[in-house]
Amino acid sequence: MASVASASAARAEEMAKVEGIELTPQGPIQVPSRLLMGPGPTSAHPRILAAQALPLLGHMHPPFIKIMDEIKAGLQYLFQTSSPYTLMISGTGHAGMEAAIANLLEPGEKVVVGVNGIWGERVADLADRYQAEVIQLKKAAGGTFSIEELKAAVAEHKPAMLFLVQGESSTGTHQALGDGLGAACKAAGTLLVVDTVASLGGVPVFADAWGVDAIYSGSQKCLSGPPGASPFMLSQRAVDKLRSRRTKPATYNLDLNLIADYWGWFTPGARKYHHTGMVSTMYAMREALAIVGEEGLPAMWDRHLAAHQLLWAGLTELGLEPFVPDAKDRLVTVNTIKVPAGVDWAAVCTDAMATYSVEIAGGLGPSVGKVWRIGIMGANAKPVAVESVLTAFRGALKKQGWAGAGKAAGKTEL
Ligand SMILES: *Cc1c(COP(=O)(O)O)cnc(C)c1O
């Protein structure tokens, strides 16, 4: 048995080791102020940030359960659904994506994935990891799927799931979802699953009217919250599928049968611990949803559309063109702008940030090097933010010698 003396010697040695490592970080955190005009995160609403700073509650305490119930109700409004199966997934948009795939597909089942950008590609990869049979329906970047071709794919393959991205933020396209697509999916025994991370709150979403069976989104885009929460919903049909699975979902963290018991989907009174609810993040989501309700969805959609139109009026004046050829396919919330020949796109982004503290993003996946991306989302879908991003563009392009398409083909010396 070690003596008291040798134990304290060992302790002294441990203390010396700790002291040998420099303490870092030091001092209060410093964060620069920036106008976030890329595809997300967008600048957060101050009221949401303030909500996040409130004192913690226990994740099973009744006042906190009440906040969770408010979130469920707020999400019904946001998704335009009467389905009681709404909740917030702990995690970013990707966690919502994985929850939909992992819970609604069993190994060997077919999923038709609309691939017209990076998000469809990711879902195809994800579904493959969960051992689904993936059928990719492909479209060139900048295009969308017609309802007819989607219905034809459903009729041909009779998949367990059809997956689509409403707002393809890597290319700037808006996928149409109405016109009987939901009914066609229902008739074929197919669940219709939609990614609305970049679009929910910025453009109309009608989960019930469109017959959508699962939707996920993200807190940091049109809802102006911090990243980390994924609004989520299932239809009754999707819940029936979840409850009658032959196999357990291969993920424990995102098993909706377990998470449902924390959110009271099936047993409203009795909540069961699955993981510690993200207390502060839920305060933020609750506040984001209250703000949505106060403004009202129609007003919110109008505000996004008006800001998008103002942006394009300014970009057109600068001689810039949209990447998405067909006007009806252009997404309001994430705008893709063709990089003109001879212009260094990255230098424009760097200058916008260095000179104006404005974020202009480059492309992603199939659009890298071809476009800039401007987000018109949430609190930044307003004239003052649009004018700031246009000022940054004008200044940065001028330094590049770009004088507008009308004045010279490409680069001119100033
Ligand atoms: C941003 C985005 C995601 C991913 O969301 P994260 O919060 O980064 O995980 C998924 N889909 C679309 C369409 C997006 O724009």
Encoded amino acid at 378, one letter: G
22 C-alpha to ligand 1 centroid (Å) = 37
Predicted confidence band of residue 406 (pLDDT cuts 50, 70, 90): low
184 C-alpha to ligand 1 centroid (Å) = 27
Task: Measure CA 57 to chain center.
Answer: 27
Q: What is the DSSP string of 301-321?
A: HHHHHHHHHHHHHHHHHTT--
Q: How many CA atoms lie within 13 A of 356 on its CB side?
A: 23
Ramachandran sector of residue 66 (left: φ over 0; alpha: ψ -120 to 50; beta: rest): alpha
- Atom 2 of ligand 1, nearest CA residue: 197
* Residue 69 confidence (pLDDT) above 50: yes
Per-residue 3-state assignment (H helix, E strand, C coil) for 139-179: CCCCCCCCHHHHHHHHHHHCCCEEEEECEECCCCEECCCCC
Predicted confidence band of residue 405 (pLDDT cuts 50, 70, 90): low
What mean pLDDT value characterizes the chain?
Answer: 95
Q: How far apart are CA 95 and CA 102, in angstroms?
A: 10
Q: Helix, strand, coil % (nearest 5) of the chain?
A: 40, 15, 45
Rounded mean pLDDT, 363-392: 96
190 C-alpha to ligand 1 centroid (Å) = 24
Which of 119, 177, 281 maximizes ligand 1 atoms within 8 Å of its Cβ, making it the mutation to test the pocket? Answer: 119
Which atom of ligand 1 is found nearest the CA of 220? 7
Contact 98, 130 (CB under 8 A): no
Q: How far apart are CA 361 and CA 375, in angstroms?
A: 9
The neighbouring-strand residues paired with 138 are 115
Q: How many CA atoms lie within 13 A of 136 on its CB side?
A: 17
Contact 321, 337 (CB under 8 A): yes
Q: What are the residues whose beta carbons fall under 8 Å from the beta carbon of 158, sequence distance 6 or more?
A: 110, 188, 189, 190
* Residue 410 confidence (pLDDT) above 70: no
Encoded amino acid at 177, one letter: L
Predicted confidence band of residue 409 (pLDDT cuts 50, 70, 90): very low
**Nearest in space to 196 (alpha carbons), one of 214, 182, 178:** 214
The neighbouring-strand residues paired with 114 are 137
Predicted confidence band of residue 4 (pLDDT cuts 50, 70, 90): confident
Which atom of ligand 1 is found nearest the CA of 96? 9
pLDDT one-digit tens code per residue, 156-206: 999 999 999 999 999 999 999 999 999 999 999 999 999 999 999 999 999
Per the listing, tokens 């991003």 go with 389
Rounded mean pLDDT, 353-371: 95
Is 400 in a helix, a strand, or coil? Answer: coil
Is 17 in a helix, a strand, or coil? Answer: helix
Cis amide prior to 231 (ω within 30 degrees): no
* Residue 361 confidence (pLDDT) above 90: yes
* Residue 413 confidence (pLDDT) above 50: no
Which atom of ligand 1 is found nearest the CA of 168? 13
- Give the full edge-to-edge strand order of the sheet including 110-115: 86-90, 229-234, 214-216, 191-195, 161-165, 110-115, 133-138
217 C-alpha to ligand 1 centroid (Å) = 8
Pocket-forming residues, ligand 1, beta carbon under 6 Å = 39-40, 92-94, 119, 165, 167, 169, 195, 197-198, 218, 227
pLDDT one-digit tens code per residue, 255-290: 999 999 999 999 888 899 999 999 999 999 999 999
Rounded mean pLDDT, 95-118: 98
303 C-alpha to ligand 1 centroid (Å) = 22
In percent, the amount of the chain with pLDDT more than 70 equals 97
Q: How far apart are CA 125 and CA 223, in angstroms?
A: 27
- Atom 4 of ligand 1, nearest CA residue: 93
218 C-alpha to ligand 1 centroid (Å) = 7
The neighbouring-strand residues paired with 173 are 168, 330
pLDDT at 269: 84
pLDDT at 408: 42
410 C-alpha to ligand 1 centroid (Å) = 33
Which atom of ligand 1 is found nearest the CA of 169? 15
Which of 89, 168, 169 maximizes ligand 1 atoms within 8 Å of its Cβ, making it the mutation to test the pocket? Answer: 169
**Nearest in space to 360 (alpha carbons), one of 35, 119, 43, 93:** 35
- Atom 11 of ligand 1, nearest CA residue: 197
* Residue 211 confidence (pLDDT) above 80: yes
pTM of the model as a whole: 0.94
198 C-alpha to ligand 1 centroid (Å) = 7
Is 337 in a helix, a strand, or coil? Answer: strand
119 C-alpha to ligand 1 centroid (Å) = 8
* Cα distances (angstroms) measured from residue 129 to each of 103, 113, 222, 249, 289: 13, 14, 30, 12, 33
* Residue 313 confidence (pLDDT) above 90: yes
Contact 201, 223 (CB under 8 A): yes
Which atom of ligand 1 is found nearest the CA of 119? 11
Which atom of ligand 1 is found nearest the CA of 334? 15
Rounded mean pLDDT, 331-349: 96
Predicted confidence band of residue 141 (pLDDT cuts 50, 70, 90): very high
Per the listing, tokens 């219709």 go with 192
Q: How far apart are CA 203 and CA 222, in angstroms?
A: 9
